[in-house]
Amino acid sequence: MPRFEYLRDPDEIERQSFVQIRQLTDLSRFDADQQQVAMRLAHTSGDPGIVHDLHFSPGAVAAGLATLMQGADVLCDIEMVSHGISKRYLQGKVHCFLNAPTVAERARQTGETRSMAAMAEWPAHLAGSIVAIGNAPTALFRLLDLLDEGAPRPALIIGMPVGFINAAESKQALWDIAPTEFQTPCITLLGRRGGSSLAAATLNALARMANGIRF
């Protein structure tokens, strides 16, 4: 006999997890679709309180679902976001250019972060895409710079970089500017919290909904 008794069935573990999340998380300010994202973030972080930082611009979820169902590509700032995305729910491709051959040298020459340097590859892929930034605040700021310079607009920006320098500021700038000046909806976690797993979880929640899967 095993020494420890615990749930082993993955479907039952997930079912019970989301029962608890609904009990522990204040979802009252979210509509039904937004709740799917909020619950996935609570599940990924293990912290029901994280939803207090979660913000959706008007039409953000609808834009994400529509573009995913049309087979949109996804652009990620780092490989950890890319690896966290469940590709089986996507029709389009997932791109991350951080390890492209020219990026390290470009970053050295310009004195920028590699995440910023990698975004030189982005404009050709931006139009109608979903952007998922989960690590580098400099990548989110650079994206806003690109849009301000007239780069093609993505269908949705998931902005969830993490950290103490530039993270809160970049997400506040996204929230303040993208939906109005760039007419680009966004989903973000305001404040310092964020991370690759949360950006990927947001995309996964949208992709599951686009495939008719809900909790």
Report the chain's mean pLDDT, rounded to a whole number: 96
Phi-psi region of 85 (alpha: psi -120 to 50; beta: other; left: phi over 0): beta
Confidence bin at 2 (pLDDT 50/70/90): confident
* Residue 137 exposed, middle or buried by CB count within 10 Å (0-12, 13-18, 19+): buried
DSSP class of 94: E
* Closest residue by Cα to residue 64 from 159, 190, 148: 159
Contact between residue 157 and residue 139 where contact means Cβ atoms under 8 Å apart:
no
Is the model's pLDDT at 1 over the cut of 90? no
Quote the crossing angle between the two packed helices 32-45 and 60-69, to the nearest 10°: 90
Full set of structural domains in the chain with CATH: 49-210 (3.40.50.10230)
Is the model's pLDDT at 28 over the cut of 90? yes
Catalytic residues: 43
pLDDT score, position 215: 83
Token duo for residue 116? 């910023």
Q: What is the 3-state secondary structure (H, E, C) of 57-70?
A: CCCHHHHHHHHHHC
% of residues, the chain, pLDDT over 70: 100
pLDDT score, position 104: 92
Token duo for residue 144? 């806003």
* Residue 28 exposed, middle or buried by CB count within 10 Å (0-12, 13-18, 19+): exposed
